Amino acid sequence: MINKKIIENVIEAALSTGGDFAEIFIEDKKGIGINMISGKTENIMSGRDYGIGIRIFKDFNSVYAYTNKSDESTLIQTAKKASKALLGENIISRSLINNMKIEQNHKIEIKPSEIPTKKKIEAMRRAYESAKGFDDIISQVTVNYQDYNQKIAVANSEGIYVEDERTRTRLAIGAVATRDGEMQSGSSSPGAQQGFEFIENLDLEWHGKEAARIAKTMVEADYSPSGKMPVIIHNGFGGVIFHEACGHGLEATSVAKNNSVFAEKIGEKVASDIVTAVDDGTIPNEWGSSNIDDEGNPTQKNILIENGVLKGYMIDKLNGRRMNMKATGSSRRQSYKYPPTSRMTNTFIASGKSNFDEIISSTEKGLFAKYMGGGSVNPATGEFNFAVMEGYLVENGKIIKPVRGATLIGKGINILKKIDMVGDNLSFGQGMCGSSSGSVPANVGQPTIRVSEITVGGRE
Amino acid sequence: MRDFNELKTKIYNKAKEIGIKDLEIYYSQGRDLNIKVFEKEIDGYKLAESEGLALRGKYKDEMGYSYTEKVDETSIDFLIENLIENAKNIEREDKEEIFEGVKEYKEVNNFNSSLEKVEEIEKINFVKNLEEEALKIDERIKSIQDCVYGDGFSETVISNTKGLDLQDKSNLAYTYIGVVAKEGEDIQSGFAYKVTNDFNELDYKVIAKEAVEEAISKLGAKSIKSGKYPIIMRNNAASDIIEAFASIFSAERVQKNLSLLKGKLNEKVGSEKITLVDDPYMKKGYASSAFDSEGVPTFKKNIIENGVLNTYLHNLKTALKDGIDSTGNASRSSYKSSIGISPTNMYIKPGDKSLKELMVEMEEGIMITDVQGLHAGLNPISGDFSLSAQGYKIEKGKIMFPVNQITISGNFLDMMKDIIEIGDDLKFGLPSSAYIGSPSIRIKSLDVAGE
């Protein structure tokens, strides 16, 4: 994407004050976002993100600089300015960069850029009609469509030069139901590392209806009970519980500085025997996948927890130095505006042996969280919280009635040990995960699981 | 700037040639610095110079948008093609117009030239001192989560073919620290920040002390029995919640049936104690500006006055639909976004009681010092919230013990109506498109879930 000779000169400038590693990240991304309200397109924005990030290490210290300009003199100036934050003499010589070829594991059939905007809007309208037509109680429907193509190149002083291309497409439907002046909402937001074939193969009507069904169910629901109780969390986006409660604490970003409850616990039992958890950035065409991470390492399948025992972390190059461990292909960033760090890709609890009906029927009294909203965690204390988008009360082994407004709170390390049933129905849900290197697409996933006790926040 | 003017002329000419009627350029450029310290060393250092340019223009009577971060001549065709394709596909009925501007705008100064002259070594020393100080105040502080200093400068130009030509520049410094306190198995965190454009206002001792005291005061925190409790929402927690609900005041959301304030104009929506102000001219208001993102002059207003909803926040499009004037609240969070609506410096007008007095008056209850999960546990469409929270149990008007692992639940409008008293300790959150603040607020009660 930039002449190799220029890249070599920039890396040399970056190392001029004693840095022991330098990297250049080039990004060129084009995309479109379309917003539809009441069945009519309201806003359409398309454009191009373009910039170059330069990163330099010296031992555990790191420096990062970025610019939108790609001419040699600006880049060398930027590298020199950044390198001034490190004091020393140039001792490391860079290696000449070599092309590293990678295979595209995420095949794109239809480039979204070649599809006219009209066709994208037609698909949005089908989802809209289906949601709006679900029931008279549906008062508003919003549909957002997004696609982008991100081309990146990573080169570094160890001689790597590698390019990658990521295409992602996503549709998000939000429905609002109104009853007696009171409003509740539901949503469905499928996405993938695919081209427009993702939309063509998507059951648009089902997703529209599902968003509407959740909103209607919730506006007619009573408030959730509160207090400690068993909670059954459904498959798919329910995996956000692992993502928030444990995943963030397994990122080297918090482990390396001893700011995680999971630090120094490799080989220890941290979860119940039936829990195996994985972060796998290689799954073809999944939302959180890529061929290489954002520091140029091939992505890989990382076993985090196996049968309850902590096996590994997600590690980036810089934190790997601190931890004296190898990087795991987990280094990600929102854009050239962020230095990369260890992040999750597609993170999930592996399938277990129970089936869904068995889990419900063996629960005397508790909450069934069919769809989760988002959540957050404080990695230092492990305290998490997240919202239940669609919940039900379970009594005597049966789903009794829908309940709204439930929040689940707790500490990750306690929850993992309290998982007492794991279903056989693993599926994924798509989200955007925000952290120190920005907002990145991340898949969460799990089969239906039961946690023997969580604090449920509600209003009754 | 000469390069920019040349580029502008070329874009205008090309657009005219191709049939784009009114065209506006939104250009911003800036620099950013961010220094992170860990164990006395510079652990992260980020330096940026960046720019971006967006077009907004009328093609066949519809508004089209496009943007690029590659700001040079090679992008002109890309920008114009995208603008036209996007304009062709707009279906909404409400018309968006480009504004010609007014003769005079007030003076607003968000730029402090002295900040640009602070030597880098002073900044590095500041953030190193901050970490060192936080670690030495109390031996139970075992590690530092984040210790950061940052500053930035940005300049925005809005220029259009109807004659509008406005420039705005601002700079800002910020610092924050997160500390971790440990006692036995008990781990608690504390956080403090400061935002200013005067480097001399940054006092590492004050910031370190605040974060450390917060973490230490939470040691030994426990959950409490579920039930309804009288509540004091401390200033920072109150402003976080108001910020998360800020979209309900947007006329756009009201017109699209997405706000719980629809149909409530001129009605009582809260206790008589509450007055909510939007003040684009506030001193040290980091969202201050003489004009909004459409170039419309801004003005100070009470959105809620003594509990009555006086106005929604408008841009030109929503104002036209309602047959009124814009309130000067058009907003673009960056060149990548289209024209939306946002408050400027928005805050609940402080009362005259101290936090201590609020505690004494409440006698028994909970003071909430921190809420989490605002993006998920709070629904700006329904007004319902259920948030993970921390705080202190108050008995006989005094802090008895720290509380955590609870949730507080309620509805925003019910909470506004249940406000009993407003404190005098107005505090603002971290600035984004808007800068939002609140004093501590005493509320009749909220549902608390715990043990």
DSSP for A168-200 reads EEEEEEEEEEEETTEEEEEEE--EES--THHHH
Residue A261 pLDDT? 86
Residue A76 lies inside a defined structural domain of this protein: no
Nearest CA in chain A to B384: A405
Mean pLDDT for chain B overall: 95
Same domain? For A179 and A306 the reply is no
Alpha helices by DSSP H, A58-161: 72-83, 117-132
Residue A92 pLDDT? 60
Nearest CA in chain B to A336: B48
Contacts B44 to A, Cβ<8 Å: 62-64, 339
Out of B89, B257, B405, name the one closest to residue A41 (CB).
Answer: B89
**A34–B409 C-beta distance less than 8 A:** no
Range of the domain at A123: 112-150+166-220
Residue A65 lies inside a defined structural domain of this protein: no
Same domain? For A340 and A255 the reply is yes
Provide the pLDDT confidence category of residue A396 given band limits of 50, 70 and 90.
Answer: very high
End position of a domain, from candidates A199, A220, A241: A220
Residue A30 lies inside a defined structural domain of this protein: no
A-interface mutation test, from B407, B448, B451, most A Cβ less than 10 A away: B407
Residue B375 pLDDT? 80
Same domain? For A196 and A269 the reply is no
CATH classification at residue A216? 3.30.2290.10
Residue A101 lies inside a defined structural domain of this protein: no
Report ipTM (2 d.p.).
Answer: 0.93
Residue B99 pLDDT? 97
* Chain A, window 265-304: residues with a beta carbon less than 8 angstroms from a chain B beta carbon: none
Provide the pLDDT confidence category of residue B3 given band limits of 50, 70 and 90.
Answer: confident
Same domain? For A209 and A305 the reply is no
Residue A91 pLDDT? 60
| E strand or H helix that includes residue B232 | strand B227-233
For each of the domains in chain B, give its residue range(s) and CATH number, in order of start: 2-88 (3.30.2290.10), 113-154+164-218 (3.30.2290.10), 227-449 (no CATH)
Out of B43, B377, B447, name the one closest to residue A459 (CB).
Answer: B447
Residue B373 pLDDT? 84
**A182–B377 C-beta distance less than 8 A:** no
**A185–B50 C-beta distance less than 8 A:** no
**Both structure tokens of B208:** 């370190």
Residue A93 pLDDT? 63
With tokens 């117009």, the residue in question is B97
Residue A383 lies inside a defined structural domain of this protein: yes
End position of a domain, from candidates A220, A251, A282: A220
d(CA B49, CA B450) in angstroms, rounded, equals 48
**B388–A226 C-beta distance less than 8 A:** no
Residue A102 lies inside a defined structural domain of this protein: no
**B382–A182 C-beta distance less than 8 A:** yes
Same domain? For A216 and A237 the reply is no
Contacts A385 to B, Cβ<8 Å: 372-373, 376-377, 387-388, 407
Mean pLDDT for chain A overall: 94
Domain count, chain A: 2
Percent of chain B with pLDDT over 90: 90
Same domain? For A208 and A257 the reply is no
Least confident of A179-183, B110-114, B325-329, B389-393: A179-183
Same domain? For A330 and A197 the reply is no
Q: Name the pairing type of β-strands A21-37 and B308-309.
A: unpaired
Give chain B's length. Answer: 451
Q: How many beta-carbon pairs under 8 angstroms link A with B?
A: 232
Residue A289 lies inside a defined structural domain of this protein: yes
pLDDT of B276 over the 80 cut: yes
Beta strands in A293-437 (DSSP E): 301-306, 309-310, 331-332, 341-342, 346-349, 365-378, 383-395, 398-404, 407-411, 419-422, 427-435
Quote the minimal CA–CA distance from A142 to chain B in Å. Answer: 10
End position of a domain, from candidates A184, A203, A220: A220
With tokens 């603040």, the residue in question is B437
pLDDT tens string A132-191: 999 999 999 999 999 999 999 999 999 999 999 999 999 999 999 999 888 899 999 999
pLDDT tens string B382-410: 898 989 999 999 999 999 999 999 999 99
Same domain? For A190 and A257 the reply is no
Asked if B239 contacts B427 with a C-beta cutoff of 8 angstroms, the reply is yes
pLDDT tens string A263-284: 999 999 999 999 999 999 999 9
* Chain A, window 362-401: residues with a beta carbon less than 8 angstroms from a chain B beta carbon: 373-376, 378, 380-387
Q: CB-based contact (8 Å) between A101 and chain B?
A: no
Residue A103 lies inside a defined structural domain of this protein: no
Question: What is the pTM assigned to this prediction?
Answer: 0.94
Same domain? For A236 and A216 the reply is no
In the beta sheet, which residues pair with residue B87? none
Nearest CA in chain B to A30: B68
Same domain? For A295 and A180 the reply is no
Q: What would the mean pLDDT of B266-271 be, rounded to a whole number?
A: 97
Contacts A34 to B, Cβ<8 Å: 89
Same domain? For A268 and A216 the reply is no
pLDDT of A323 over the 70 cut: yes
Same domain? For A313 and A358 the reply is yes
d(CA B318, CA B313) in angstroms, rounded, equals 9
